[in-house]
Structure 1
Amino acid sequence: MNIQTKYVKLEIFIPETHFSQLRNALRAVGAGQSGNYDSCLAYSRVIGSWRPLEGASPYEGTIGELCEAPELKVEVRVELSRLEKTMAAIRAVHPYETPVIFTIPLMDENEA
């Protein structure tokens, strides 16, 4: 079976305070479009954990100390042709020095 990938799912971890900015940025580049709908995404509350190392400029936390804070995990489907613009839009509104963004290829539902 020859499976094509036309879409990816992005999982983006972001503070709740920046969710509206992220949602607007995603909409502006056409991420989350599905048929006659736009702004299609899901989000859930999670607890993030990290430890800033020497040389980091953390949005939150202290160098060398383990940190935890509430975040939102935002999931959105993006057409591959829009991925580069989508990643740039996310980085433009994301407060973290190194945003956590997972990119997961999706099987084209027409090929299954």
Structure 2
Amino acid sequence: MIVIVCFAPLSHADAVRAALADGGAGRIGEYSACSFSAVGEGRFRPGDTADPFIGEKGQLTVVDEVRIEAVCTRDRARAAVRAMLAAHPYEEPAWHAYEALDLDSL
């Protein structure tokens, strides 16, 4: 399994979660649209050529964001990340993905 992690503003968290699920993430056994979310602060300073969704060029910006995590099979991970990126309002969303071990791999 691949764990996909992204950070979204509170205003778009539901849309990003739905996009991940539509892309194939969040399936665990007989359950779908599974994810975990935690609220925190995102910080960034848009550069001179940026087109920020939130904040002003050159100004440090602090935004209430949600860390969203969902698992995905490797064969669906690329589609799930692409769907998340398409739904995300940020020009350059922060995200990462990593492989998770299952019980048999421990």
- Length-normalised TM-score, structure 2: 0.93
Unpaired stretches in structure 1, ≥5 consecutive residues: 1-6
Name the aligned partner's letter for residue 59 of structure 2: E
Is the partner of 2:104 in helix, strand or coil? Answer: coil
Distance in 2 of aligned mates of 1:35 and 1:110? 16
Distance in 2 of aligned mates of 1:49 and 1:87? 22
Distance in 1 of aligned mates of 2:24 and 2:58? 39
* Structure with the higher fraction of residues in helix conformation: 2
Distance in 2 of aligned mates of 1:28 and 1:57? 27
Of the three residues 44, 62, 73, the one matched with 2:67 is 73
Distance in 1 of aligned mates of 2:91 and 2:77? 20
Q: Which runs of 4+ in 1 moved over 2 A?
A: none
Match of 1:43 in 2: 37
1:1-112 counterparts in 2 under 5 A?
7-112=1-106
Unpaired stretches in structure 2, ≥5 consecutive residues: none
**Sequence identity, in percent?**
29
Aligned residues: 106
RMSD: 1.1
Which is higher, the Rg of structure 1 or of structure 2? 1
- Length-normalised TM-score, structure 1: 0.88
Q: CA deviation at 1:108?
A: 2.9
Q: CA deviation at 1:80?
A: 0.8
